[in-house]
Amino acid sequence: MQLPDIATGYRLHGAGKSRVVVLHGGPGAAGEVGPLARNLVLPDRSVLEPFQTARSIDGQIEELHGQIVRRCDAPVVLIGWSWGAWLGLLYAARHPDKVGRLVVIGCPPFKEQEAEGISATRLARLDRDEVEQYERLSGQLGSADAWPRLSELFDKMDGYSTDGRPAVPVSVDRAINQAVWRQATTMRRSGELLDALSEVRCPVTAIHGDHDPHPVSSVRSALRAAFGSPDVFVLEKCGHKPWIERFARDAFYDVLERALI
């Protein structure tokens, strides 16, 4: 895939107005869910892959709203991966008439204390040289030269047995990442993120790998408290990015397709 053209605001996979939207992670990492979005296309199903460029959470929610209004036939199935899971949740809470189902993949924890071990888990999966590379390259987030190796390190930290394909071209914006993530962690700390769950009116499906450094227990408990009996699928031998996992990819797409019906 080519590097996404951020100026367009989106990438449409297929033709016509879409009823499926796939949100990237980051924040500020446009393009990483491109292969996932492309694999969901059918002759009668197009998929919108919007690029979020605003430097605030409110800005990203309203940016996404404009993209859905212009490019989609709502209500949509809104699929959010990693940071995109939180964005999807916040969007569904604010614009419930536009979302028919929310799917969260690799959702980060909803409570600050449940996120404390993520960094240590990730680094423990690298050797000493790789840790040094990761720490050095993390300071160059947003550099096109740094991304290929940084992506490999992320896949090793976050994955179980990935398919080894070359890194997908991603447009990483460090300023967006820092500004939006700062707000997001503040919302998590204050409980505002959890409160937003109570405003979601559509069915929610969660898909999570058992090897994902983000603990699934946080997602399961938060969704159960909000929805009673949500659909939570834990995939075996699977990391943070299920569509690149050798052993879990087929099961992942089976679950996802059922959510799209």
Q: What is the pLDDT of residues 47-97, one digit of tens each?
A: 999 999 999 999 999 999 999 999 999 999 999 999 999 999 999 999 999
pLDDT of residue 172: 87
What is the token pair recorded at 113?
A: 């204390």
Question: What average pLDDT does this structure show over 214-219?
Answer: 94
Give the tens place of pLDDT for each residue, 117-139: 999 999 999 999 999 999 999 88
Q: Which residues pair with 49 in a beta bridge?
A: 11
Cα–Cα distances (Å) from 230 to 22, 168, 219, in that order, read 20, 32, 10
What is the token pair recorded at 261?
A: 């019906």
The C-alpha atoms of residue 32 and residue 45 are separated, in whole angstroms, by 20
pLDDT of residue 83: 97
Question: What average pLDDT does this structure show over 221-231?
Answer: 89
pLDDT band at 166 (very low <50, low <70, confident <90, very high): confident
The C-alpha atoms of residue 87 and residue 81 are separated, in whole angstroms, by 9
The C-alpha atoms of residue 172 and residue 1 are separated, in whole angstroms, by 15
- Residues 176-194 as b or e (16 or more Cβ within 10 Å = b): bbebbbebbeebbeeeebb
* Backbone torsions φ then ψ of 132, nearest 5 degrees: -65, -40
The C-alpha atoms of residue 205 and residue 21 are separated, in whole angstroms, by 14
Q: What is the CA radius of gyration of the chain?
A: 17
Q: Which residue has the tokens 């996992």?
A: 245
Question: What average pLDDT does this structure show over 239-256?
Answer: 98
74, 76, 72, 88: which is closest to 259 by C-alpha?
76
SS3 state of residue 136:
helix
The C-alpha atoms of residue 24 and residue 46 are separated, in whole angstroms, by 17
* Backbone torsions φ then ψ of 63, nearest 5 degrees: -60, -45
pLDDT of residue 5: 76
The C-alpha atoms of residue 215 and residue 140 are separated, in whole angstroms, by 27
pLDDT band at 229 (very low <50, low <70, confident <90, very high): confident
The mean pLDDT value of the chain amounts to: 94
Report the predicted TM-score, pTM, of the whole model to 2 decimal places: 0.95
CATH code for the structural domain at 6-260: 3.40.50.1820
36, 22, 24: which is closest to 77 by C-alpha?
22
Question: What average pLDDT does this structure show over 175-204?
Answer: 95
Whether 213 and 122 have beta carbons less than 8 Å apart is answered as yes
